[in-house]
Structure 1
Amino acid sequence: MRLLSLSLCLISTVGYAAKPAPFPVTPNNTGESFMVSATNPYVSSTGYTILKQGGNAIDAMVAMQMVMSVVEPDMTGIGGGTFALYFDNKTNQFHALDGRDEAPASASPDMFVENGKAISRDEILGPRSVAVPGTLRLMYSAHQEYGSMPWAELLKPAIDLAKNGYAMNSYTYDIVVREQARLINDPEIKALYWKDGEIQPTGTLMKNPAIAHTLEMIAQKGDSYLYGGEFGKNIVETVNSRIEGDKPKLSIDDFKNYQMKKREVVETDYRGNTVISFGYPASGGMMVSQTLELLEPYNIAKMPITDAEPWRLMAEAMRVSRADRITYAGDPDYVEVPADEMLSKGYIDERRKLIPKEGSADKNPKAGELSEEQPAQHQEFESKDTGHISILDSAGNAIAMTSTIGTGMGSGVMVDGVIMNAQMANFSASPTFKGKPVQNTIEPGKRPRSAITPLMVLDKNDELRLIVGSPGSSQIPGYVLKTLVGIIDWNLSAQEAIDLPNIQYGTKIDRTKAKDPTGLLVEKKTFAEMLVPELIQQGYPVHVIPVVSGLNAIEIKDGKVYGASDRRRASSSMGE
């Protein structure tokens, strides 16, 4: 294991930020044995090094996530939650590993209702938004069951970067700027990101000795250091000290009782390919599966990529499936989720009638009636900033893993160098909407729904063909759908499919505008701009803005392994 610590620990001799070795410089790569794809060069380099040394996919996932916790704390980390779709090649089985954050035992459906009205997102964010984090328990539990390298070895790269430094990227800087009004109030965050009263710029050498110590203790004691140990107690004490009065608070028992869960996978067929995704409460997979079923009769392969029609069909089909997602998605331990019915042929055929023959639907479709007591169709706040990695090891094991702390810089509370999640804000703030119950309401021990979409595809011979996922909040399913259509319908490579413009209906953060635009979101500086006149003529409110995905994919084809990642971020793939 000495090679690992040397390969990622350059600063001890030269005094500069530790650089990935080898340094990834292109978004794609080709190999024959293994591959990793990630949005950050420190992360992809770490995964490559672990697999190069003979570690398996689970080992690489652990090491990569720990490095993400250090170098991308604005989006992900051990203070947050994770969904990991794992393919075990030896048993030919898919495992949906749920490390989503969980509401504390003190939580209640109306905890964010004051004077008969739900409080705003800005009022929720902060210590009250912290849920019990699940990422570390998932990492440790998965490693205990499937890992091959020693646990402590896998944390060394992250510890080294935290101690010796890494270059802060522009994405982190942008998020700190965006969220600065609430971040500056936390002493640990302020000490890390501010200097002489100013936010430190992109490229700053960042050192976080507090998280280095936390990770060193986790390396020694495993996840018990958080789930019942000193770190967990520090979180409870810090968070609760900032919550006023008798409002719901965390307890150390919440941490002791937290467990990773294994969920159902969602399986559907699209043009002879089997699409495998994560079941509820990760609802993006069901949304993509429904959309693919809706698109099946349309001959998209014969439609030119630069025509408006295939993009219109994708947008309209997603509007139909989104209505079901925001109505029925929830924690299956607490609510009934009619997953089988949502993918049944009769139901899909009926829902397809909502796709207009031409142009835009006059209004957003309503959800289908699948239960006696129809839940409310209620879209509220969802995570804005997320991280994804895709992994294939030399034994054919694969992982699509997406993790988040709930929104940019999470709750804005840092404990022992770790940003704490804001996942309580991803529940519905009100238990009812227009007199109907909400599936995603808060309950003790419940996990909030998510649009996260880790996904894999088997080809017509049932061989693994694709591993893919993306950050991007409620836009994630659309990013993944575009990639699948590009590969399966248009016979593009994974990299070419990722490079396609992002065009989808929804709401997107745009700091250049006073209000976040809602309508057909068309990615600027792409060929999609030339489709805008026709799309407007079809009745769409069109917004040409940055629609920044963070897709990371691995494609297996003709005996080769192809890494692909998103040029919209500092993404890269590495393998051999």
Structure 2
Amino acid sequence: MRFRLALCAAALGVAACTAPARFDYAIPNQPESGSGYTPKPGWATSRFSVAAANPLATDAGYQVLKAGGSAVDAAIAVQMVLALVEPQSSGIGGGALLLHFDGKEVEAFDGRETAPAAADERMFLAADGKPLSFYEAVVGGRSVGVPGAVRMLEMAHRQYGKLPWATLFQPAITLAEQGFHIGPRLHMLAESDTYLRKDPVAAAYLYRPDGHARDAGDLLRNPELAEVLRKIAAQGSKGLLEGEVAQAIVDKVRSHPTNPGRLSLADLAGYEAKRREPICHDHRARGRDWRLCGFPPPSSGTIAIGQILGILENTPASGMPLETGFGGVAGTSAPAPSAPWLHLYTEASRLAFADRDRYVADPAFVQAPGGNWSTLLAPAYLAQRAKLIDTSPAGKSMRRAVAGTPAPGTTSLAPMPQQVEQGTSHISIVDSYGNAIAMTTTVEGQFGARQMVSVHGGAGGFLLNNELTDFSFTPADAQGLPIANRVQPGKRPRSSMSPTLVFDKASGRFEMSVGSPGGAFLIHFTAKTIYGVLDWGLDAQRAIDLPNFGSLNGPSVLEAGRFPPATVDALRARGAEVREETLTSGLQAIQRAERGWFGGADPRREGVVRGD
């Protein structure tokens, strides 16, 4: 049964209205912030709000909401513009997970990519039986899974759309035809990418004849993408997954000169988006009970976040406030977590990621421990796991955790070795009808498989995902035990995407939508923001601003330049290996405020929030 909430749309403080018959998209001014760290104020709105990773995408969603569209309508418009202006992170060649609340219940729409029917568990092993290096696997056709975002959005629109499907493509088509100004982040990533410029289509589109990326501020048109979007607008997802566009995708994948893939026309035409039961769990903070809802497997995010928060509840963490005086950019004054709290958090993370690496995979192929994923979130199990943490004042780090046994008779599986995870974008939206969404969308790595599809050979097109490298390259361990997340035909690779909706448990009232890109670390970025709002009482923007941190069941990783040396030294004194890295999150969040909504966007990227 879906998680039901005793809450009507009117209780959200909004009123439904009839959508107008006409939507006229207007291109806004196109200033964009840089891609370093730009402080953001947070944005207060009264009736509706949209938060996305690029100002043009946010504006498209805003115009749709203002015209009477629903949250799903706005998400479609946002995603199509992101495919144009943020191709390094998401697009029609990738997948997405959408969490939707209609004022009464939460639903999970799964647009995760699938492995081709011709895939096998050894497809990422070299001739000598050893795993390929990451970029040997990524670049080319081998890593491309069946893209699912468009078919999933089509499914959600049938149920929750208010404006016509075709209408929602106007912003992206208009911008693709008339042009948009390249943002600093797209320029920076294209210039630094070793592999994208080797694709002839991408090279002609994003690079100058001298091999350097087109400059930030240059006007860039993409008529090839506009034509594909017109097909999808007219034909629905069949416009992408069947006919000449599908043939162009298959040709691109299978004809790569050094690393061809196995995708077929039948794989594309047969893709099925899925409606899944969300996973919801409780969290108590500051004397109040909250209900957090997120995505079930094949995503691992909600289970990991729920385990981390649940384990922390069984430690002294809740009594530890933020420290002040450090935590800002370049050591400026700002709140930051203390070393004792970070010790507890990273230990809880190690325990959660140990379970993630052993148990979580596509539920069509792997059975949940005890037959139910909720066993991994059972309070008694999390209390038992918390006892493994040394909570003494000078408690030592376990450095690496092993998976637990959440239920009797748990299937014997091997832990998956760590692999690179990248990419992704996040969208949070609240509309004027009482609907809310959290949608995380991805092509996996930066620019995906570095393969751009141009159907008619013109300028531009769209990029294909490299989602199959989210599978374990190694199918089994040295003893022959299978790895849950190994490659299998038709299987969906495990994801870290963590779109989350937060509710007041007592009243059922919707309180917050949140999520982030960032590979496996996006679990920590999202958990940090949730904890900052619920446990430390910060608003969404201030919680997003907090320094990033986490562990993937190895080193404790801290955002470089955001923690004082004393904190780093204190963690090392506890026996942890500590690394300081960039940790570029891309958080978006919208929370309930006294007079409507308050939205936050990550200062580490170009996102903004808009609404009325």
Once residues 421 and 217 of structure 2 are traced to their aligned partners in structure 1, the CA distance between those partners, rounded to angstroms, is 26
Match of 2:91 in 1: 77
Match of 2:110 in 1: 98
Q: How does 1:197-236 map to 2 (within 5 A)?
A: 197=210, 198-236=212-250
Q: Deviations over 1:8-52 (max 9, x none)?
A: 277xxxxxx6999xxx99552111211111121111111111111
Match of 2:524 in 1: 478
Deviation at 1:266, TM superposition (A): 1.2
Once residues 273 and 404 of structure 2 are traced to their aligned partners in structure 1, the CA distance between those partners, rounded to angstroms, is 32
Pair 1:464 & 2:513 matched = no
Query: 1:9 and 1:493, CA in 2 relative to 1: closer, same or farther beyond 3 A?
Result: closer
Match of 2:254 in 1: 240
Kept in 1, the 8 Å contact 2:358–2:403? The answer is yes
In the alignment, which of 302, 307, 318 is matched to residue 285 of structure 1? 302
In the alignment, which of 545, 548, 564 is matched to residue 584 of structure 2? 548
Match of 2:312 in 1: 295
Query: 1:385 and 1:213, CA in 2 relative to 1: closer, same or farther beyond 3 A?
Result: same
Match of 1:499 in 2: 545
Match of 1:325 in 2: 356
Match of 2:439 in 1: 401
Kept in 2, the 8 Å contact 1:128–1:243? The answer is no
Query: 1:50 and 1:71, CA in 2 relative to 1: closer, same or farther beyond 3 A?
Result: same
Match of 2:328 in 1: none
Once residues 561 and 216 of structure 1 are traced to their aligned partners in structure 2, the CA distance between those partners, rounded to angstroms, is 34
Deviation at 1:444, TM superposition (A): 1.0
Match of 1:348 in 2: 382
Say which SS state the counterpart of residue 128 (structure 1) adopts.
Answer: coil
Kept in 1, the 8 Å contact 2:49–2:599? The answer is yes
Once residues 525 and 131 of structure 2 are traced to their aligned partners in structure 1, the CA distance between those partners, rounded to angstroms, is 31
Kept in 1, the 8 Å contact 2:97–2:111? The answer is yes
Once residues 312 and 3 of structure 1 are traced to their aligned partners in structure 2, the CA distance between those partners, rounded to angstroms, is 55
Say which SS state the counterpart of residue 557 (structure 2) adopts.
Answer: strand
Match of 1:117 in 2: 130
Kept in 1, the 8 Å contact 2:304–2:523? The answer is yes
Q: Deviations over 1:361-405 (max 9, x none)?
A: 233100113544421111343431110010000111011000110
Query: 1:39 and 1:530, CA in 2 relative to 1: closer, same or farther beyond 3 A?
Result: farther
Q: How does 1:29-108 map to 2 (within 5 A)?
A: 29-89=43-103, 92-108=104-120
Once residues 310 and 55 of structure 1 are traced to their aligned partners in structure 2, the CA distance between those partners, rounded to angstroms, is 43
Once residues 529 and 568 of structure 1 are traced to their aligned partners in structure 2, the CA distance between those partners, rounded to angstroms, is 22
**Amino acid corresponding to residue 341 of structure 1 in structure 2:** T
Pair 1:168 & 2:199 matched = no
Match of 2:405 in 1: 369
Once residues 2 and 218 of structure 1 are traced to their aligned partners in structure 2, the CA distance between those partners, rounded to angstroms, is 20
Once residues 554 and 55 of structure 1 are traced to their aligned partners in structure 2, the CA distance between those partners, rounded to angstroms, is 18
Pair 1:523 & 2:559 matched = yes
Kept in 2, the 8 Å contact 1:111–1:248? The answer is no
Deviation at 1:292, TM superposition (A): 1.1
Once residues 132 and 472 of structure 1 are traced to their aligned partners in structure 2, the CA distance between those partners, rounded to angstroms, is 22
How many residue pairs match? The answer is: 553
Match of 2:16 in 1: none
Match of 1:249 in 2: 262
Kept in 2, the 8 Å contact 1:563–1:575? The answer is no
Identity %: 36
Deviation at 1:524, TM superposition (A): 2.9
Query: 1:503 and 1:9, CA in 2 relative to 1: closer, same or farther beyond 3 A?
Result: closer
Give structure 2 stretches of 5+ with no counterpart: 1-19, 324-337, 455-460
CA RMSD of aligned residues (A): 2.2
Kept in 1, the 8 Å contact 2:312–2:318? The answer is no
Name the stretch that deviates more: 402-411 or 375-384. 375-384
Say which SS state the counterpart of residue 195 (structure 1) adopts.
Answer: coil
Q: Deviations over 1:416-474 (max 9, x none)?
A: 20100111111111210222211111111100001110001101421001100000001
In the alignment, which of 533, 542, 545 is matched to residue 487 of structure 1? 533
Match of 1:383 in 2: 421
**Amino acid corresponding to residue 367 of structure 2 in structure 1:** E
Deviation at 1:69, TM superposition (A): 0.5
Q: Deviations over 1:196-245 (max 9, x none)?
A: 22222333222111111111121122111122222111111221122669
Once residues 110 and 485 of structure 2 are traced to their aligned partners in structure 1, the CA distance between those partners, rounded to angstroms, is 17
Kept in 2, the 8 Å contact 1:27–1:566? The answer is no
Name the stretch that deviates more: 404-413 or 551-560. 551-560
Say which SS state the counterpart of residue 98 (structure 1) adopts.
Answer: strand
Match of 1:191 in 2: 204
Deviation at 1:542, TM superposition (A): 2.2
Tell me the TM-score normalized by structure 2: 0.86
In the alignment, which of 231, 241, 258 is matched to residue 271 of structure 2? 258
Once residues 549 and 226 of structure 1 are traced to their aligned partners in structure 2, the CA distance between those partners, rounded to angstroms, is 30
Match of 1:334 in 2: 365
**Amino acid corresponding to residue 290 of structure 1 in structure 2:** Q
Kept in 2, the 8 Å contact 1:501–1:528? The answer is no
Query: 1:142 and 1:529, CA in 2 relative to 1: closer, same or farther beyond 3 A?
Result: farther
Once residues 562 and 209 of structure 2 are traced to their aligned partners in structure 1, the CA distance between those partners, rounded to angstroms, is 40
Deviation at 1:170, TM superposition (A): 2.6
Match of 2:291 in 1: 274
Say which SS state the counterpart of residue 117 (structure 1) adopts.
Answer: coil
**Amino acid corresponding to residue 512 of structure 2 in structure 1:** L
Once residues 115 and 438 of structure 2 are traced to their aligned partners in structure 1, the CA distance between those partners, rounded to angstroms, is 25
Once residues 220 and 200 of structure 2 are traced to their aligned partners in structure 1, the CA distance between those partners, rounded to angstroms, is 16
Pair 1:425 & 2:469 matched = yes
Once residues 419 and 248 of structure 1 are traced to their aligned partners in structure 2, the CA distance between those partners, rounded to angstroms, is 15
Deviation at 1:136, TM superposition (A): 0.9
Match of 2:13 in 1: none
Deviation at 1:177, TM superposition (A): 3.2
Kept in 1, the 8 Å contact 2:312–2:348? The answer is yes
Say which SS state the counterpart of residue 68 (structure 1) adopts.
Answer: helix
Deviation at 1:248, TM superposition (A): 5.6
Q: Deviations over 1:339-381 (max 9, x none)?
A: 1221123321221122122444233100113544421111343
Once residues 561 and 465 of structure 1 are traced to their aligned partners in structure 2, the CA distance between those partners, rounded to angstroms, is 9
**Amino acid corresponding to residue 226 of structure 1 in structure 2:** L
Say which SS state the counterpart of residue 401 (structure 1) adopts.
Answer: strand
Once residues 372 and 546 of structure 1 are traced to their aligned partners in structure 2, the CA distance between those partners, rounded to angstroms, is 38
Once residues 438 and 169 of structure 1 are traced to their aligned partners in structure 2, the CA distance between those partners, rounded to angstroms, is 40
Deviation at 1:118, TM superposition (A): 2.1
Query: 1:519 and 1:204, CA in 2 relative to 1: closer, same or farther beyond 3 A?
Result: farther
Name the stretch that deviates more: 207-216 or 113-122. 113-122
Kept in 1, the 8 Å contact 2:97–2:439? The answer is yes
Query: 1:240 and 1:84, CA in 2 relative to 1: closer, same or farther beyond 3 A?
Result: same
Deviation at 1:2, TM superposition (A): 10
Query: 1:325 and 1:386, CA in 2 relative to 1: closer, same or farther beyond 3 A?
Result: same
